[in-house]
Amino acid sequence: MIGKKAFTALLILAAFVASIYAPIKILPIKFSARTSTSPFNTGWNGTSEFYNTLISEGYDVYTLNSMDDLDHLIATNDTVLYLVIAPDIPFSFTDVDKLLSILNRASHVSFLIADENVTSNALLSRLFHSSISGLILRDPKSPYGLEHPIVECELNGTVYTLVLNVASYILLHSSREQTKVLCKYDDKPIVAYFELEKYHGIVVSDSSIFINQFFEEEYLNKSIPKRYTPIDNSHFALALVRLLTHNSTNYKIIIDCAHYKTIDLNSLIGLPIPPIGLILSLFLVAIIRFLDALYLTFLEYLTVIMRILALFIVTFFVYSILKRAGGRVGFDEGIYRHRETKVIYEVELPGRRVYDIKYLSKKDAIELLASLYTILCRVALRELKIDLSRIDEPPVQERFRLIFKDKSDKALKTILTLRKVYEYHSGKRRFIWPPILFWKRTLSKLILNSEMILEVMGATIVGKPGVKGVEYRLRKV
């Protein structure tokens, strides 16, 4: 099995060779400076799957990279659906004025705005006299975690069950007959439909139903492997689009990307990309042809047995290079130790940085594990209402086993070991029994076990997609 680095290197090599046949032109490529929810982002928190689905539905979809480009997209008597999904940059009043003045030339305009933050509030206030509160909704009854509320939305007679992700709610600043609340949680509006004289619009106080993690089934299955309820996020997202476009693919769908932070690589590098690839690919092809000719000439002077032996030697040589270039195959404990150690230090000890586990002393490992015990205690007290310092008490231990189920023995052993280290670090214990001989190996094992414990509490120390980090939880304590 080839490692990720080796596979990436092979892809780059193939791209260089393919660029020989590519036309020489400057590529106006833009990448997100942050992993924003733009259609350019194909990661778990992008909206590329939603974008591709709209195209497969037959819609003409346009991405607006600058407010100055809007004038070229809107023609007289167009029908337009304008999409805003969790922008990074807040709308200014100038942006709103320019947007509405240009959209006025269209024959019909609909708006779909999905945002759990306050960055869209200037636009929402102007259009629908509403805003997003920015306060996170929490559902203590949700089997998917506190920050994943389960709601039901009725649209055109169909009830959709949605699982939200760090959602907020809508503030309606004026009561209008044209306003219809489609979805509520704890008596707070989540989805609202506005049917005004000039335009229609739907506001969703959560962007997650459009992002890849909660829209695309493959990502969803990885994020939520067990389904306790139906999850109709993607069906509901498309139903909103069909409602606002009146089931007509003649609508122009414009996705606002002008309010995402981006870096223009072309202006950053200042060079046309294909010519560089052309020069390098020609050089690489020349090397490959030389080695190929040399190898074939060498084989001509060998017997059949020697040719087979030479083939095995070359194969082993290539495999060794790819393995070294790609790193270890499978679980590499050193990499995990390095990554998780760094994360915990950034959370609990911001004044120190550890970039290689081999430079950790015994004192560092003890200090790190003591900090880890403190983190687990604080998060458990906050999320599960369990005091891990009293884990020996039968009522506490019984509730602990009830929550962790088949993982309870492993989790309990981890907590008790961490507590010993913590007591040793704080001077409450003179020695640890049984003694720990291999501190770095123990450090790695306890960090991985702690990640398992934190997963149950809806947190992470290794930055798993879609899960709030420990540092977020600690800020809330």
pLDDT digit string (tens) for 288-329? Answer: 777 767 666 666 666 777 777 877 887 777 777 765 554 443
- Whether residues 82 and 173 fall in one domain: yes
Measure the CA–CA gap between 65 and 254, rounded to whole angstroms.
10
pLDDT digit string (tens) for 225-238? Answer: 788 888 898 999 99
We report the CATH number of the domain holding residue 80 as: 3.40.50
Distances (CA, A) of 109 to 127, 156, 357: 12, 20, 57
User: Which pLDDT value is given to residue 245?
Assistant: 92
- Whether residues 289 and 378 fall in one domain: no
pLDDT digit string (tens) for 125-139? Answer: 999 989 998 888 888
- Whether residues 53 and 93 fall in one domain: yes
Contact call for residues 284 and 14 (beta carbons, < 8 A): no
> Parallel, antiparallel, or unpaired: how do β-strands 30-32 and 60-64 relate?
unpaired
- Among 6-10, 42-46, 253-257, 290-294, top mean pLDDT goes to 253-257
- Whether residues 154 and 235 fall in one domain: yes
Total number of domains constituting the chain: 3
Burial of 225 per CB tally in 10 Å (0-12, 13-18, 19+): exposed
Domain termination residue (choose one: 280, 301, 327)? 327
Measure the CA–CA gap between 338 and 373, rounded to whole angstroms.
19
- Whether residues 313 and 184 fall in one domain: no
- Whether residues 243 and 390 fall in one domain: no
User: Which pLDDT value is given to residue 15?
Assistant: 63
- Whether residues 216 and 321 fall in one domain: no
Domain termination residue (choose one: 237, 265, 293)? 265
Burial of 300 per CB tally in 10 Å (0-12, 13-18, 19+): exposed
Two structure tokens written together for 155:
């649209």
- Whether residues 126 and 248 fall in one domain: yes
Q: What is the end-to-end Cα distance of the chain in Å, rounded?
A: 44
- Whether residues 33 and 163 fall in one domain: yes
Q: What is the mean pLDDT of the chain?
A: 77
Domain termination residue (choose one: 327, 351, 367)? 327
Measure the CA–CA gap between 78 and 73, rounded to whole angstroms.
10
- Whether residues 256 and 287 fall in one domain: no
94 is in which domain, residue-wise? 28-265
- Whether residues 428 and 301 fall in one domain: no
User: Which pLDDT value is given to residue 334?
Assistant: 39
Instruction: Render 265-290 in DSSP notation, one character per residue.
Output: HHHHH-S-HHHHHHHHHHHHHHHHHH
- Reduced DSSP (H G I as helix, E B as strand, rest coil) percent helix, strand, coil of the chain, to 5: 50, 15, 35
Measure the CA–CA gap between 402 and 326, rounded to whole angstroms.
42
What is the average per-residue pLDDT within 196-216?
Answer: 88
- Whether residues 311 and 345 fall in one domain: no
